[in-house]
Structure formats: structure tokens, C-alpha cells
Amino acid sequence: MKPIIYRLSISQPTWRKTQSLACSHLVDTQKAQARAHKLGTSAAQPDIIVSHSESTSFSDALQLFDKASDLTVVSATAIIGRFAQQHRHEEAMRLFSRMLASNIRPNESTFGTVTHSSTVLGDLYIGKQIHACATKIGLQSNVYVGSALLDLYAKLSTIEEARRVFEDTRQRNVVSYTALIGGYLKKKRIEDAFHLFREMPERNVVSWNVMIGGCSQTGYNEEAVNLFVEMLGEGLLPNHSTFPCAISAAANIAALGMGKSFHACAVKFLGKLDAFVGNSLISFYAKCGNMEDSLLVFNKLSERDIVSWNAVICGYAQNGRGEEAISFFERMQVEGCKPNSVTLLGLLWACNHAGLVDEGYSYFTRARLEDPSKLKPEHYACIVDLLSRSGRFRQAEEFLCDLPFNPGIGFWKALLGGCQIHSNMELGQFAARKILALDPEDVSSYVMLSNAHSAAGRWQSVSTIRREMKEKGMKRIPGSSWIEIGSKVHVFLTGDSSHHQKDEIYMALRFCVEHLREVKASNLHEES
């Protein structure tokens, strides 16, 4: 069989780096090859591979392919795998090309390794060539090769191509199913992911983690929480990767009771909590408004990283406790943890929510002078929001004019939000026009402007805006709320009447409204 030769482009700096490593390891390889002549090539083959496995020289590896005439597929794959394990995927692909040129027939392990490398490199073209080569050899239906190809197409191409590879794979295993489920979740095809998950012949902790994490990351938090509970019900032990996904989902729906149960499970099953699980718990308690328990988890962590500190600062910010966020930031610096861009964003956010305008602007100015690399567009947008919320519109406009880049929708929405608070109609309409010029289908700008006119009592303008929205077929995204009762989360949408206890709920609400009316009438009577 005539081998297929792959062409990979390697940047000059990468090539020079690999060449410079050659001298330091060449002597070991030459010694191993010298022993090969004394002991016989086949006997010395393991010595050569061992010598290379201790080396990081790409030049040495090329010499092995060029000079070791009986290099086997096992030894060649081991060399390629060594570079892939070191995240040197471009070099692994070049060695694969040399392997084919040396008429060494790849096996399923080889294809699995190089397919993964092409996925990491994000090179679909090379991946398709590998697929073609595997098909020519007849290994495309191998479950190991098929799973790697499935992962490639799911991440770099269409889910339809991934599905075709899945269907072509013989004796599909949990890896194949999990890879396709991950692809469905990435494309937000939740129903397809659930359908495939339910029909899996067997499920392991990885497949459960993929489903729980995928649902949490795509906004299906109730489903993620329910999956975690179901997983425990089936007697499968969660691991360090399971808990952060489940806890994050509970945080997103503010299910405090459920999250506390997850915390207890983590302590029971894992014992000592690592930073990954601990950080998710810090964020969970903060999102549920319980900063005391959030800080308690932080203080109990044996190993804290920058994420731990940021989680507390952002928690204080979310709960409008700006002074405490600033105090915690100062403690962070005293203890020698260097802040990053996320820290600064959390600090600005905290100042914003607490109305600490001068403090927030001061921190931003300091960062711009001392370490401008920390500043991202979101930091600038936060300052626009900070100034707009406090009614400093002239300063906000000047800040926008001095930006080192063109402001996006988020900046104009921040300005529009401030105009809504302070009923600044003229500037609000200007900001709305900017938003609609960037995104004509943006519904929120119409809603915010309508609310601003409504607050100012300009009902004719409100009517005009609503009519324009209706003519364009725009619909407001319904508001949502939820409440946790007995560790079960109940979700409600605006105008939603699908809850199975809706009659009792509306009856209770009517009773509350009537009671409030009676109390108000009684108070008015007493005052008169």
C-alpha cells in the first residue's frame, strides 16, 4: 500500500526550538544505536525506545524513524504518543507523516493518538486526512478510532458528521456514546443528548459528568440538578469533577437547601475538599445570598488559589457589599495573592452595586497606570455603568469618547440603563439608536427605553415604542422566578399557568392581596 503523506506547517520558532534540543540528547541515542549493532537490532529495539522516552528531542525521534530499519508499529506509536503526551502535537503529526513514509502500517492506537492531536490543534483538514487513511486501511469502524474521530467532528465540524461516524462504529462503547452526547450538548441539542443518554447500554461517572456539566453550562440547571440526584439514586459515586457542575447548577437557580445537601455529599464521598470543589461552594453560597457560609468555606480551604479569592470578592459584589469587597481585596494583597483581571472586574462590580463611584474609578485608574494589560473591554464597560448609574452622564460620555476601541452593544446598554434610572430621555434615545444600529433585533433596548419613558410619565412615547416592537414582530423575553420548597425547585414564568398547583397558588395570592388592602384601608382610617 502506498502511504499517504501529510503536510504539516510548523512555525519557524517551533522548528528552531526542536532543533536546539537535539544536541543535548543525541549522545544517548547514538549509544543506544551502537548497542544495537553489538546485540542485534531486535534485541536493542527496546533500548532505543527507552532512550527516546527519556529524551525530548524531535531530532532524535526523526533519526529513529530514518535509521531503525525494523521500527515496529508499536514502537513508532509509542514515540508519537510520547510527543502527544507532552502536548507537542505538531511534532507528533510530523512523526506520523514520517511513519507512513517509512511504510509502517498504523494501528488503532496510532490513529487514536494522532486524531486527538489534530483535534487539539483544531485542524479539521488534517483530521479528515487521518479519517481517509483509517478508512483505506479498514480501521474507521474500530471503536477506539471511531471514538476519536467522533470527538474530532463534534468539536471541529458538524454534529451530523459526528453522528455518521458514530453510526459507522462497530461495538460502540461508553466512550463513543459520551463523545456524541458531548457534541449534542455543545450544539445545545439537549433533547438529542438526553435521548442518547437514556439509550446507552451502560453509563459511567464520566458520561454522567458530561450530561450534568453540559446541562449546567447551557442553562438547563434544573435538569442538571435532577440528573445529579438520579445519579446518586442509581448508586454511582460522584467524583471531584461531578460536584462543581452540580453545585454550579444549584447556584444558578438559588436552590440553597439542595446545594447544602450537595455540600454534605461532597464531604461524605470526597472527605477533604480540593480547591475546585471548594471554589464552587464559595460561589454557590454567595449566589444564594449567604456570604457567611461562603466565607466559612473559604477559610476552611487548605489550598486557596486566585479563583478562591475572586469568588469571595464577586460574591460580595453580587450582594451589594462593596465595602467588604474592598476590605477583602486589601486582605488578598496583604497575604501575597496577586490579583488578576477577574479580581479587578469583581472589585469594580462591587463598587458599582454599592454606589462607590469614586472608589471604583480610582481602582480603574490605578490599574490603567500600573498594569494596563489587566484591562479588558468589560472593565471599561463597568466604568460606563458605574458613571451612568450615578447620573454622571457628561463624564460617562467623555469616557466613551476616549475609549481605545469602538464600544460594543454592552457599553451603550450600560449608558441606556443609567438613562432609564435617571429618566434621561435624550441621551437614552441616542444610546438606543446606537444599540439598534449594531443589532436591529435587540429587544432589550426597546424595553429599557420604554421603561424610561414610562417612569417619566411619557405614555405617548411608550405607546409608540410598543407599536414599533409589535410591527417588527419583537417579543419580550418573559420574566422568571423560582422558589425552593422541601428541596424541590418550582419555576414560574410571566403569564405561565402550567404549574400543577396553580389554583392553590392564585388563591393564596388573592388572599394576600385582599389582606394587604384591608391593612392599608385600616391604616388610612386610623390616620383620618
Give yes or no: residues 316 and 290 share one domain.
no
Lowest-pLDDT choice from 29-33, 165-169, 362-366: 29-33
Give yes or no: residues 68 and 190 share one domain.
yes
**What's the CA angle centered on 486, arms 485 and 489, to 5 degrees?**
50
Lowest-pLDDT choice from 97-111, 164-178, 454-468: 454-468
Give yes or no: residues 279 and 315 share one domain.
no
Given a contact cutoff of 8 angstroms between Cβ atoms, the answer to whether 56 and 72 are in contact is no
* pLDDT of res. 157: 87
Given a contact cutoff of 8 angstroms between Cβ atoms, the answer to whether 298 and 308 are in contact is yes
Rounded CA Rg of the chain: 30
- Separation in Å, CA 29 to CA 25, 43, 81, 95: 7, 15, 18, 17
* pLDDT of res. 495: 65
370 in a structural domain: yes
Give yes or no: residues 237 and 289 share one domain.
yes
Given a contact cutoff of 8 angstroms between Cβ atoms, the answer to whether 425 and 431 are in contact is no
Q: How many Å apart are CA 39 and CA 44, to the nearest integer? A: 6
The pLDDT of residue 2 is above 60: no
Q: How many Å apart are CA 391 and CA 415, to the nearest integer? A: 10
Q: How many structural domains are present in the chain?
A: 5
128 in a structural domain: yes
Lowest-pLDDT choice from 200-214, 285-299, 327-341, 421-435: 421-435
Query: What cell was used for 452?
Result: 424610561
Query: What cell was used for 60?
Result: 532524535
If you ran DSSP here, which 8-state letter would residue 374 be given?
Answer: G
Give yes or no: residues 283 and 311 share one domain.
no
Q: What is the pLDDT of residues 49-99, one digit of tens each?
A: 444 444 457 777 777 777 656 788 998 899 899 899 989 999 999 999 988
- The domain that contains 159 carries what CATH number? 1.25.40.10
pLDDT band at 26 (very low <50, low <70, confident <90, very high): very low
Q: What is the pLDDT of residues 190-241, one digit of tens each?
A: 999 999 999 999 999 999 999 999 999 998 999 999 999 999 999 999 999 9
* pLDDT of res. 110: 94
The closest alpha carbon to 389, from 415, 411, 358, 427, belongs to 415
Taking residues 444-459, report their average pLDDT: 72
- Grouping H, G, I as helix, E, B as strand and the rest as coil, residue 485 is strand
Given a contact cutoff of 8 angstroms between Cβ atoms, the answer to whether 75 and 87 are in contact is no
pLDDT band at 474 (very low <50, low <70, confident <90, very high): low
* pLDDT of res. 399: 94
Most confident range (mean pLDDT) of 80-89, 285-294, 406-415 is 285-294
Give yes or no: residues 65 and 179 share one domain.
yes
Give yes or no: residues 295 and 246 share one domain.
yes
- Grouping H, G, I as helix, E, B as strand and the rest as coil, residue 249 is helix
Query: What cell was used for 89?
Result: 502535537
Question: Helices then strands (H, E): number in the chain?
Answer: 29, 2
* pLDDT of res. 427: 87
Given a contact cutoff of 8 angstroms between Cβ atoms, the answer to whether 420 and 428 are in contact is yes
The one-letter amino acid code at 336 reads G
Give yes or no: residues 420 and 464 share one domain.
yes
DSSP of 272-309: S--HHHHHHHHHHHHHTT-HHHHHHHHHH-SS--HHHH
- Separation in Å, CA 513 to CA 226, 493, 517: 34, 20, 6
174-186 helix and 205-217 helix, angle to the nearest 10 degrees: 0
Locus of grid cell 440603563: 417
Given a contact cutoff of 8 angstroms between Cβ atoms, the answer to whether 182 and 214 are in contact is yes
Q: What is the pLDDT of residues 91-135, one digit of tens each?
A: 999 999 988 888 889 999 999 999 999 999 999 999 999 999 999
Give yes or no: residues 76 and 158 share one domain.
yes
The closest alpha carbon to 495, from 475, 511, 513, 521, belongs to 475
Give yes or no: residues 218 and 162 share one domain.
no
Give yes or no: residues 98 and 188 share one domain.
yes
CB count, 10 Å around CB of 421?
15
CB count, 10 Å around CB of 56?
17
Q: Report the predicted TM-score, pTM, of the whole model to 2 decimal places.
A: 0.72
- Separation in Å, CA 12 to CA 8, 19, 57, 119, 347: 12, 10, 16, 22, 42
- Domain range for residue 440? 402-477
Give yes or no: residues 470 and 484 share one domain.
no
